[in-house]
Chain A
Amino acid sequence: MSTTTHAPAGPHDSQGPARPPAGDPADPQWAWVAYEPDDARPWNLALAGHLYRRAAFGADWAQLQRALADGPRRAVERLLEPETEVAAFDRRHDELEESANADALRAWWLRRMVQTPHPLQEKMTLFWHGHFGATAARVNYAPLMRGHVQLLRQHALGSYPPLLEAVSRDPAMLVSVGAAENRKMVPNDHYARELLARFSLGSGNFMEEDVEEAARAFTGWRVLRNRLRYFPGDHDGDVKRILGREGNFDGDDVVEIVLQQPATPRLLVRKLYRWLVSETDEPSDALLAPLAESFAADYDVARLVRTILRSNLFFSPRAYRQRIKSPVEFALGIVRGLEALAPTEKLAGDLAAMGQNLYHPPTVKGWKGGRFWLNQATLVGRSNLAAEMLLGAKPYADKLDPSAVAKKHGHAAPQAAARFLVDLFLQGDLDEGVADRLFEGAAAGEGGPAERLRRFAHAVVTLPEFQLA
């Protein structure tokens, strides 16, 4: 069953002009209440696609149809707690990654993203990877970076305090920020600075003195031969004054102190808003306050993510198509949509050329993302990657087969197959005029129906619309 293309004034519009949402997305009382479909805002294919773009890496047709049948509550639950055995999958992949070098690690992660029964976990692992910004470029020892990302995965949908504690003791993190050595006689403030500025309170919410004092608290730790070692003789055990507290704190104490500051949950909530909801607006503190207050109670990431993904705001026009797909989302959206595999080592390199080198965030601030993904070179890169995937020969295109997928879901005839692809990749989010021209083009050109459908698929995924998440 495919919907016809329509004028996409918004996600709830399946026929006719847009109807305004039931509440004001800027109203914190309405925004975070769970979305319940009604006549004004029905649950539909567009919203199912939106959910899978944000909470996963896109979806195949069966997943979209099942989400459609499930409704928003069950669809979100499935993504948070998949029915399939995830632990076994993760364990197997951990083993496979065992002897990988940095390049192979990228490839293995992409493979996880494609095949995992728990894509939301991988999406959140990617979030934390950008949040902490540790990079293989500085760490120079693959097992450390492997351990780092596995740590992030372990806590991806867990609780922030144990994650932050573990990262504060992670040799990959310390080496990455240049804090491999921190001694009483020569305090090193690099980790303390990032901890306060980026992993907890955020800029403007602490003083330079807090950084210096926190650096003293972390003294005694040194990364030697890729292991973190503690040297009591190098630890500054004297009293420190940090953020209004006083005591002979150590690193763990500092982590506890920063977690108690209300600015910390606010920073994390704001970052998650950008990751899951929208890159185009700067939400007010008032809008985020209910989330921040709730998150501050227990720092339960899964609960926060669930609230966001179930919310009225998430399923409103304020969030819909308001992000730019990262290179990973762009490529995997095609691969997952076509129920395919991809040669992940090559893909990892291609994605790196487009600015997303997994395991190598550009700085400790992570990837800027949003419109920064798109420039006049990376867009040609996206088109060429898609061409390799859909039009060329090996190593990509013998694994992706639009005609086979269309036929599998009941659309063998060329025009029907073309309409199916627009529903699969865009859920019909395409101006009628543009769609009509594309359909006309689909019937023309050289080669048989399969070749023409491949070119059509390429035309669809190179549309500006497809770049929007």
Chain B
Amino acid sequence: MASTRREFLKASLGAAGLVSFGPAGPWLRRSAAAATGRSPARNTVLVVVQLSGGNDGLNTVIPYNDATYAKSRPTLRMTPDEVHKIDSELGFHPRMQAFLRLYRDGLLSIVQGVGYPNNNRDHDGAMRDWHTARPGEAACQTGWLGRTIDALFRPDDGNVPGVFVGPIAQPFGLHAERAIVPTVRSLHQWRLQATSGPAAGAHRARLVEAAELDRPSDPSPLLKSARQTTLAAYAGSEQIEAVVRGGPSLQAAGYPDSLLGRDLHTVAQLIRADVGIRVYFTELGGGGIGGLDNHANQRGNHGAVLHQLAEAVAAFSDDLVREKLADRVLLMTFSEFGRTVAENGRRGTGHGAAAPMFLAGGKVQSGLIGAHPSLADQDQGALKFHTDFRRVYATVLDRWLGLDSQAILGDKYEPVDVLRV
């Protein structure tokens, strides 16, 4: 990595290069310093994976010896020899061998029994609750990650604190009051476009130079701010392009060619590009009443989705470990509710309550966090929660992102011991 942004730009823009810079403004040195001297608290990354539709946690982390489990799920139960055993009581769904590997490598944490009081069992309402972290506040105007992004945005820098990566409409969790949150459909959109062909490089160089040059006659702070952000934008675009050009393809990097695989590959590239994004939001299941909402014939479909999840997250984890970035990244899954304990008559399950959240990364407190909810003590046919999801959010905000969770969530929540920080 070049020592200053200017040198980096000069090196990467090719033959046309940058002819004359004029005296380097103070902003350049400041932004270069900022790039290299970040403290750990301001360098960490959160990757959220939304599982849309209500994930059946009971068939994800499975109490395979439990009698009630077996009795409640004649067609959906997984037997002791099918599961990937975590310990003498619990095992992963048969199609999640990749998660067992992560778990054994100390890179996966399972927070059990997550939910909230009187949880909404309607898709829209429940997902809104998880997005806003303000259950019951139907008029809440922002998402918890939108508030996070608002807290992280600095107008002087024009930094992009968070993005959504995926093909669906941007989820409400990212809805911010002030900051603008991009949706990344492909990294191509972050490339500075120009005419194609040999003219393009020279033209792009001219654009950068035009913003670079000093304006001794115009001391306007607003202009300076616009220049600063423009140059940071150009530099970031080049950094992203360099990562895409120089890095391995999806398959070469070991990612499955699934929607989530591609999205997490994009996330990894953006992390490597080091453009200052702290929050990434991805989604599995297609949003809305999503792919995990299996009211009928759950077995095959659920297995397929869990397999996609496990393979993609494991590939992402492996990639980060190789790139020595695993200690800076925390991945977190959530779904709007779990499912009913008993299967219905159509080999599926209904909307439920508590379910596990997965946390993956180099700094997780690997293992099972909290006990598995008892099947003998259900909440209207579903598993009872014991860990409020806002405690997990608060932990991530305070201890991982270095922010004030109370300001963002509106209340103080007791942290959960999921991180080794």
| Chain A residues near B (Cβ < 8 Å) | 7-9, 177-178, 190, 280, 321-322, 324, 353-355, 362-365, 368, 370-381, 383-384, 387-388, 391-392, 431-434, 437-438, 441, 444-447, 451, 455, 458-459, 462-465, 467-468
* B194, A391: Cβ atoms closer than 8 Å: yes
5 additional A-B pairs beyond A372-B178, A438-B206, beta carbons within 8 Å, are A362-B141, A380-B189, A391-B193, A455-B203, A464-B226
* B177, A363: Cβ atoms closer than 8 Å: yes
Collect the chain B residues with CB atoms within 8 Å of residue A371's CB: 155-156, 158, 222, 225, 229
Q: Name the segment of B6-14, B112-120, B212-220 touching the other chain.
A: B212-220
* B211, A464: Cβ atoms closer than 8 Å: yes
Q: Does B138 belong to the interface (CB within 8 Å)?
A: yes
Q: What is the CB-to-nearest-CB distance from B393 to chain A, in angstroms, rounded to a whole number?
A: 20
* A434, B178: Cβ atoms closer than 8 Å: no
Q: What is the CB-to-nearest-CB distance from A3 to chain B, in angstroms, rounded to a whole number?
A: 15
Q: Does B413 belong to the interface (CB within 8 Å)?
A: no
Q: What is the CB-to-nearest-CB distance from A171 to chain B, in angstroms, rounded to a whole number?
A: 16
Q: Does B336 belong to the interface (CB within 8 Å)?
A: no
Sample of 13 A–B contacts (CB below 8 Å): A355-B180, A362-B178, A371-B158, A373-B180, A375-B160, A379-B158, A383-B193, A433-B214, A458-B194, A458-B203, A459-B210, A462-B210, A468-B222
* B226, A434: Cβ atoms closer than 8 Å: no
* A177, B199: Cβ atoms closer than 8 Å: no
The chain B residue sitting closest to A465, CB to CB, is B223
* A388, B222: Cβ atoms closer than 8 Å: no
* A372, B230: Cβ atoms closer than 8 Å: no
* A437, B210: Cβ atoms closer than 8 Å: yes
* A365, B220: Cβ atoms closer than 8 Å: no
Contact of A374 among B158, B207, B215, B236 (CB under 8 A): B158
A391 to B199, CA, bound (A): 11
Contact of A464 among B153, B206, B214, B230 (CB under 8 A): B230
Q: What is the CB-to-nearest-CB distance from A236 to chain B, in angstroms, rounded to a whole number?
A: 21
A239 to B43, CA, bound (A): 57
Collect the chain B residues with CB atoms within 8 Å of residue A364's CB: 141
Collect the chain A residues with CB atoms within 8 Å of residue B177's CB: 362-363, 365, 368
* A372, B226: Cβ atoms closer than 8 Å: no
Collect the chain B residues with CB atoms within 8 Å of residue A322's CB: 222
Q: What is the CB-to-nearest-CB distance from A373 to chain B, in angstroms, rounded to a whole number?
A: 7
Q: Does B300 belong to the interface (CB within 8 Å)?
A: no
Q: What is the CB-to-nearest-CB distance from B126 to chain A, in angstroms, rounded to a whole number?
A: 18
Q: Does B402 belong to the interface (CB within 8 Å)?
A: no
The chain A residue sitting closest to B206, CB to CB, is A441
Q: Does B358 belong to the interface (CB within 8 Å)?
A: no
* A431, B211: Cβ atoms closer than 8 Å: no
Collect the chain B residues with CB atoms within 8 Å of residue A376's CB: 158-160, 229, 232-233, 236, 275-276
Q: What is the CB-to-nearest-CB distance from A284 to chain B, in angstroms, rounded to a whole number?
A: 19
Once A7-B218, A372-B178 are accepted as A-B contacts, the answer to whether A468 and B206 lie under 8 Å apart by CB is no
* B139, A190: Cβ atoms closer than 8 Å: yes
Number of B residues, CB within 8 Å of A: 61
Interface residues of B in 131-152 (CB under 8 A from A): 138-139, 141-142
| Chain B residues near A (Cβ < 8 Å) | 19-20, 22, 138-139, 141-142, 153, 155-156, 158-160, 163, 175-180, 182-183, 189-195, 197-199, 202-203, 206-207, 209-211, 213-218, 220-223, 225-227, 229-230, 232-234, 236-237, 275-276
A438 to B209, CA, bound (A): 9
Collect the chain A residues with CB atoms within 8 Å of residue B221's CB: 280
* A437, B20: Cβ atoms closer than 8 Å: yes
* A434, B197: Cβ atoms closer than 8 Å: no
Once A9-B217, A280-B221 are accepted as A-B contacts, the answer to whether A370 and B175 lie under 8 Å apart by CB is no
* B189, A384: Cβ atoms closer than 8 Å: yes
A380 to B158, CA, bound (A): 12
Once A363-B177, A372-B179, A434-B210 are accepted as A-B contacts, the answer to whether A377 and B233 lie under 8 Å apart by CB is yes
A387 to B195, CA, bound (A): 8
The chain A residue sitting closest to B140, CB to CB, is A178
A280 to B226, CA, bound (A): 13
Q: What is the CB-to-nearest-CB distance from B400 to chain A, in angstroms, rounded to a whole number?
A: 23
Q: What is the CB-to-nearest-CB distance from A15 to chain B, in angstroms, rounded to a whole number?
A: 13
Contact of B193 among A373, A387, A459 (CB under 8 A): A387
The chain A residue sitting closest to B235, CB to CB, is A376
Contact of A372 among B180, B189, B206 (CB under 8 A): B180
Contact of A375 among B179, B193, B203 (CB under 8 A): B179
A8 to B202, CA, bound (A): 28
Once A372-B153, A464-B227 are accepted as A-B contacts, the answer to whether A384 and B192 lie under 8 Å apart by CB is yes
Once A391-B194, A446-B197 are accepted as A-B contacts, the answer to whether A9 and B237 lie under 8 Å apart by CB is no
Q: What is the CB-to-nearest-CB distance from A415 to chain B, in angstroms, rounded to a whole number?
A: 16
Collect the chain B residues with CB atoms within 8 Å of residue A373's CB: 180
Closest 10 CB pairs of A and B: A7-B217, A178-B139, A355-B180, A464-B226, A379-B233, A371-B155, A363-B141, A368-B178, A446-B199, A376-B233
* A324, B153: Cβ atoms closer than 8 Å: no
* A431, B229: Cβ atoms closer than 8 Å: no
* B226, A9: Cβ atoms closer than 8 Å: no
Q: What is the CB-to-nearest-CB distance from B240 to chain A, in angstroms, rounded to a whole number?
A: 9
* B215, A431: Cβ atoms closer than 8 Å: yes
A392 to B193, CA, bound (A): 9
Contact of B218 among A363, A381, A431, A455 (CB under 8 A): A431
Collect the chain B residues with CB atoms within 8 Å of residue A431's CB: 213-218
Q: What is the CB-to-nearest-CB distance from B4 to chain A, in angstroms, rounded to a whole number?
A: 17
Once A377-B180, A437-B209, A446-B198 are accepted as A-B contacts, the answer to whether A464 and B20 lie under 8 Å apart by CB is no
